[in-house]
Amino acid sequence: MGVNVPKQLFKELDNNRPSENTLYLPTDIPDDVNVFYAEVGYFMNQKTNEPVTYLAEHQLQTWYDRWISKYRMYLKSQKIGISTMILLEDFHIALTRGKGKEILIISQSKDKAKDHLQDLQKMIRNSPKYHDYLLDAPKDDEQYLRDERTKVDTIYLRNPDDPKNTTKIIALGITSVGSLVSFKKVCHIHMSDITMADMVEERFQEAFGAAFSRLANTDGTMVIEAPPRGTSGPVFDIVDEMDELKKDGFTVEIEEGKEVITPSGFLVRRFTYQVGIACGMITERFIESERRRLGVLFAMYYMADFYTSDKAFFDKQFVKQTSDMATSIYGAFDNQ
């Protein structure tokens, strides 16, 4: 069970707001996830259309992980509220250390990334405390460039520290490798479901490298949340790296316990359908029907398992043995 958010926070926000004609750009942004969640506004239950007044434990975990590792990966089940939770984090970064910088939301296609951006835009617009940050209709006394307006592929946010230097949250597709290298002030990257893009491995690696390079000058952060698919590509490589370290008993001591952080710097977690059942997001009845419907693909969509995805119907040990054999054969020919 997650943590309930005090309802009186909404009353306090209403009392503290200035008049309708005055922009309200508060700078007292809390790091406490439950307080920030209340100030932004509750998520809506898609079944009941009622506000969700608490965050689930696995959602809280993603927030706390921000202070453990700069780079994080969540291999996830479908429909457990991870993407929406990371959007909340994206907005928090935009209001704090990301002011005046760029945040990239990268998905398997630009259209899917724009869907995420639309969800975030609605979240901001409906926020009882932060909706004035959204720059879509400038006030008469504000001076912005003509194209500095929130649109379908870019959210513009006001920056109270430097009004002429707006904050941008930009939607991109992982397949658009050329566009990924066009941004100079990226402080954070959120990759969502990029494993579902139909790309050859070489192109996938190139796109991943292009995105990662945008963080070089800002010492920025990256979070990837995606279902498993196939046994190649950068996401698989990072997860496989973590699995090998766990098998060898390698962990990194942190304040809250022991975690595995890969040599490439990623903290990796798996969230299966079970966390969704535990917090009431999905039901056991639905999962059983999905298990029958999907067959061997069930593990990919709900168990965060690479080795029974639509591109990999085989055991992990077989993959490693075959890979080692291929390397040995190649080496033998290369030495002749």
pLDDT digits (tens, 9 = 90+) for 167-223: 999 999 999 888 888 899 999 999 999 999 989 999 999 999 999 999 999 999 999
More confident residue, 13 or 278: 278
Whether pLDDT at 239 is above 60: yes
CA separation for the pair 151, 89 (Å, rounded) = 21
**pLDDT value, residue 277:** 97
**pLDDT value, residue 248:** 66
Beta strands 266-271 and 71-76, pairing class: parallel
CA separation for the pair 226, 150 (Å, rounded) = 27
**pLDDT value, residue 149:** 93
Specify if 87 maps to a domain. Answer: yes
**pLDDT value, residue 138:** 82
Q: What is the mean pLDDT of residues 136-158?
A: 88
Q: What is the mean pLDDT of residues 282-305?
A: 94
> Which phi and psi (to 5°) does residue 222 adopt?
-145, 140
Whether pLDDT at 123 is above 90: yes
Q: What is the mean pLDDT of residues 287-313?
A: 82
Whether pLDDT at 314 is above 70: no
Whether pLDDT at 324 is above 70: no
Contacts of 145 (CB under 8 A, 6+ apart): none
Share of the chain above pLDDT 70, in %: 79
**pLDDT value, residue 215:** 96
CA separation for the pair 219, 213 (Å, rounded) = 10
Q: pLDDT class for 154, splitting at 50, 70, 90? A: very high
CA 259 from chain centre, in angstroms, equals: 20
Specify if 65 maps to a domain. Answer: yes
More confident residue, 253 or 307: 307
Secondary structure tally for the chain: helices H, strands E: 12, 15
Share of the chain above pLDDT 90, in %: 64
More confident residue, 109 or 260: 109
Specify if 237 maps to a domain. Answer: yes
> Could you tell me the CATH number of the domain that includes residue 182?
3.40.50.300
Whether pLDDT at 16 is above 90: no
CA separation for the pair 259, 105 (Å, rounded) = 26
* Counted domains in the chain: 1
Whether pLDDT at 93 is above 70: yes
Dihedral angle sign, alpha carbons of residues 147, 149, 154, 157:
positive
**pLDDT value, residue 4:** 62
Whether pLDDT at 61 is above 80: yes
Q: What is the mean pLDDT of residues 240-266?
A: 65
Dihedral angle sign, alpha carbons of residues 170, 76, 95, 131:
positive
Specify if 252 maps to a domain. Answer: yes
Domain that holds residue 110: 3-295
Specify if 117 maps to a domain. Answer: yes
Specify if 311 maps to a domain. Answer: no
Specify if 304 maps to a domain. Answer: no
Record the pTM: 0.84
**pLDDT value, residue 335:** 42
Mean pLDDT of the chain: 85
Q: pLDDT class for 265, splitting at 50, 70, 90? A: confident
Q: How would you class 195 by CB atoms within 10 Å of its CB: exposed for 0-12, middle for 13-18, buried for 19 or more?
A: buried
Specify if 11 maps to a domain. Answer: yes
